[in-house]
Each structure stands twice: as C-alpha cells, then as structure tokens.
Chains A and B, each alone.
Chain A
C-alpha cells in the first residue's frame, strides 16, 4: 500500500476547518499540519485534538518541519494579502500549493473543466478562483464546449452568514476574478459576475444563475446533454450541486438556475458557497497527490 501524501492547511478559520474535516476522509491525502496566526483560534485547537501538528506563528512556524514531515501539498485558506509570501515560503521545499484565496498568482483551476490539464502541466500553484466561480464556471464550460459563447454572466446569491469579512472587504475582487474565470476557464468571450448577499433567516442555500449568450442559435439537445454530464462531474465532490430550473432557451440565451447545498462538515449546509470551495480544493489536491505518487513509484 502506498502511503498517503502529507498536506498542510494554512489558515485556521472556517474554510481551513471545513477543509480539515474533508481532508481527514481522503484516501490519498493525510493532513498533518494546520497553520494559524492566533494561538486562541478554535480551528487550531480542533486540529490539535484531531492529531495534527499546529502552529500559531504562521507558515514560518511550520517551515523548519516541512522537509522532515514530508509536507508535499499545502492549501492556503488565508487571504490574498498574505498568499504570495506564504507561497514563497513553502515553494522552497517543493510544496505544491492549492490557493483558495483570490490572490490568483497561479492559473485558475475549476476541477471538472481543467483540473487534469493543470496537473498535467505540473503547476506549482493553482488558484481556485472564487466560490461563485466554482459553482458557475462548469456550466459556462458545458455550453462553450458545445458551441461558441459570446457572453457568459453569473449571479451568485449567498446568505449573509456565509459571506465572511474577507469577501465583504474586497467584494470587487469577487466580481473581477469570477468574471475573468468565466472567460479563461468557462470559455466565454466576455464574462460578467454579480454577487448578492441576502440576510434572510433561516439562511438561504447558495443560489447561482448562469446566463450564456451563444453566437449562433443554441443547440438545445447537445447543451442539455453536456450540462447533465457536467453536473454529474461536480456532484462527485459536491453532491448537493443541483439544477433547480432550466436550461431555459430564449433566443440565443441559455440559462441555468442552480442550488448548491453543502455537505455540512463544519460549515452549515446552506453555505454551499464555502463548501464548493473546500470540496474543489480537496479534489484538486487529491489529483496532485495521485500525480506525486505516480512520479514516486516510477
């Protein structure tokens, strides 16, 4: 039996903690470190109880142990502001980085669309776009792989409780990064992203609407088929990814109305926006881990 690939979680907040629960179930990855900056952090305490090594001194606190503990993959669930320096530190030890912040130093990765390509290119750092991007770009790609999409637009609606201070402080980063992802990974000539935060109680499930304007009349049958396949791909890691309505065909407009229910590992189920991020981050790391194992076996 091959040993699991060791991984570190940088960031001990909600995202890092949810990722930890998911990673503990992985058959190919073993989370061994959790890195935080606050010794009082609940996330660090929890990680310690679950048997991980922890530090409250940031990545520097883990650095002396990276080689000895054979850490080969790291997730960064901190913020765009510190991602670059986190990445520089772990890069020296050959660690592959899965970036869950909006820093986007590395290329965008949306697992069902381009994960294999990213892993094949042996990228040191891949970026997970945004939660809204993970939830919508697959559907844009589902249309653009059938026929040219001149314009892709996504509207992500998330509950107030699931929109953290990082998102709020830099909401433009969300709209810009997601729109760029709709173009670069989704395959639309032009992309537009809108985010709405809704405070209703009980909190609403993440909702995503995807509008594509196709260049020529939409090929309905092929698009429906392509969309079903794409949804099945996403459901492999986010079982609660569901087409609620659509696709609606209206002239050259193709619209999908999605609901994203999270697994409820650490974050509540309504926070599908956060769940799809951590699930996509784990899926990406797992494929990287397979590649590492393959290389080591060879």
Chain B
C-alpha cells in the first residue's frame, strides 16, 4: 500500500467515545488535562461530549459526572490550536443542544444517525451548516448495509448541508475490504468538496488496518483515540496509527512522541475499565453489535447470572441499533426467564 504524500486530519475520541468505558465519569479537570496535552501534541480536532452525544445524560446511557455544557465550557477556552467537536444523535439530543454547543465555541458538529435513517438529521445538519459550523454527517453501524445504500443516505446528508460524511464502524465489524468498498464509493460519488471520514472500533483488532484502507480509498478524516480509549475494545489507537502513518510517509502534523506520552502517562492511568480486546468486545465485533453495549451487557450478565457473550450475541441476532441500550436488561430478563423454564 502506498499512501506517501497523502494528508489526513486526525480526530481524537478519547473524551467522547472514551466516556463509555469510563461510564461517563470523566471529570471536567480530567478532560482539560487530556485535551490540553492533545492540543500541545498538535492533534487538530478533539471531541468532547457525553458518550452518547449531547443530551445523552440518562438512566438509559448513564448520567455523566458533569453536563455537556460544563465540559465544553471547561475545555474550549483552554485550546491553543485544537478545535473541539461535539456529537449529536437526533432522537437523543435536539437542536437546542446544538445551539448550546455552538454558544460554547464548538467548531465541529457531528450529527449521527443509524446508517439507514439519515433523514432524521435534516434539522440538525441544516442548523449546523446555517451557523457555519464544520458540519459532519455520521452514518453509524455502516457494516449493516451495502455501499450503494450508504451513498443514498450520504447524499441526503450532503443535501442537508454536511461538508463531511463519515462511514462509522460502530460495531468494529468491518474488515479492510468492507471499508475500501464503502469509503471508495462515497469518495467517488459525493461532491468533490465534501470530505469522507472513517470512524473505527478495535473489536477485531482492525482499527489500524481499516483506517489505512480508508485513507487509501480517499478518506481525509480519521477518528482514533489516544490509548484507544473508546467503547468496546476502543477506537483505533491514535498513537499507534500516527506511528504507522509516519512510517508510510503520510502527513498528520501530530507529534507522535508527545502522543505516546499522553497515552502512557495520562490516559492509561485514568482508565477505570481497561480497554482491550476481551471475549466480550471480540463478540461485539464478531456479531456486529454496537460497541457501547459492552459495559451494560457485563452489568446485566452479572446482575442476572448470565454470560455476557450470550446477551451480546442475542442483541446482534435481534439487529439492535445504536441507542437501544434499554434492550440489554430486557434481553437479560428474557434469557433468565427462559433459563428458569428449562
């Protein structure tokens, strides 16, 4: 693979996707510590939000240590060069949250929908574009449909005003060829001034390989997370990805050595759940299940005396989508009943 001379914008997820393994309990001070260090390492874009996006504070997903607004007001003013992004999932967050984020100085809004449901994002993408934000459409669980179908959805988002569309491998299910086909098709068919991005999960240990495939197929933005701190087995570990890119002659503008130090000295030590490929996160990738279900399934398994991998496989069989965390306890109760009946 020859990527020499390509340029990639890296986007750190540790303070948003990383909220999942931390059960949304990162403090504003921890966020400031990580974000200022990433800024000093020249990471250009850093996401700061509840794991499930603006307005995610809930029984269903978990109540965070601080509100989205408190996190954003803490972090944004501390940035020298880096820009801050926020995630918004319509159905959970609303345009009111978007206005708040904009008021806090958020630069990039990423509006996320299940990959077949882009039309619920019209209001939010439209408003982001109108407020002249860097407005991104984020197609989640993109492994579930084919490149042609993804393109239709991407075109809707493009039509609403998104200037960048992401292929999001929320389940960490994709293999490199899956990424190549999807990113490549979007790159070929979307307007030339609309960027394509890729967001990976490391559940099958494909984060790096998939992100490279995405760059080769024309993606300009790649998500990763310092120390891989993200849902499931985490996101593409950013310091590793940078090292690989630099070896391949790809420009990132990021200071690899500083990034390694942040992973080692700041992020690993603060992890309350050690993010890694274990049997549960591997099951997510194998069965195509939304990565943030991981800890919820572990908790339900413990509470009801079940095997968490069984719960996850059942959630995959049911074709659950992102946000359906409420199904986890429901499925566990069903399995417990079925077990008692045997």
Give A residues with C-beta under 8 Å from B.
151, 153, 155, 157, 160, 165, 168-172, 174-176, 192, 194-200, 204, 207, 209, 211, 213, 244-246, 248, 253, 255, 257
Contacts and interface: CB of A to CB of B under 8 A. Distances in A.
Interface stretch (B89-97, B100-108, B128-136, B239-247): B89-97
Contacts of B324: 155, 157, 196, 198
Interface stretch (B116-124, B164-172, B218-226, B256-264): B116-124
Contacts of A244: 330, 334
A160 B116 contact: yes
- Interface SS of A by simple majority: strand
A10 B94 CA distance: 29
B333 A246 contact: yes
Contacts of B321: 196-199
Contacts of A209: 60, 326, 330
Contacts of B190: none
A197 B60 contact: no
Contact of B120 (A168, A200, A257): A168
Contacts of B90: 171-172
By Cβ-Cβ distance, the 5 closest A-B pairs, closest first, are: A209-B326, A200-B319, A245-B333, A172-B94, A211-B59
A196 B323 CA distance: 7
Given A168-B122, A197-B117, 9 more contacts: A168-B120, A171-B120, A172-B90, A196-B321, A196-B324, A199-B114, A207-B326, A207-B327, A246-B333
B333 A248 contact: yes
B91 to A, nearest CB: 4
Interface residues of B, number: 28
Interface string B327-341: 101100110000000
A195 B94 CA distance: 11
Nearest to B117: A197
B91 A199 contact: no
Contacts, number: 89
Contacts of A213: 59
A257 B326 contact: yes
B320 A198 contact: yes
A153 B58 contact: yes
A217 to B, nearest CB: 17
Interface string B303-332: 000000000000000111101101101100
Contact of A200 (B58, B318, B330): B318
A29 to B, nearest CB: 35
A194 B319 contact: no
Contacts of A165: 119
Contacts of A160: 116-117
A203 to B, nearest CB: 11
A168 B333 contact: no
Contacts of A246: 333
A169 B119 contact: yes
Given A194-B58, A198-B319, A213-B59, A169 B123 contact: yes
Interface string B210-251: 000000000000000000000000000000000000000000
A169 B122 contact: yes
B333 A257 contact: yes
Contacts of B117: 160, 168, 197, 199
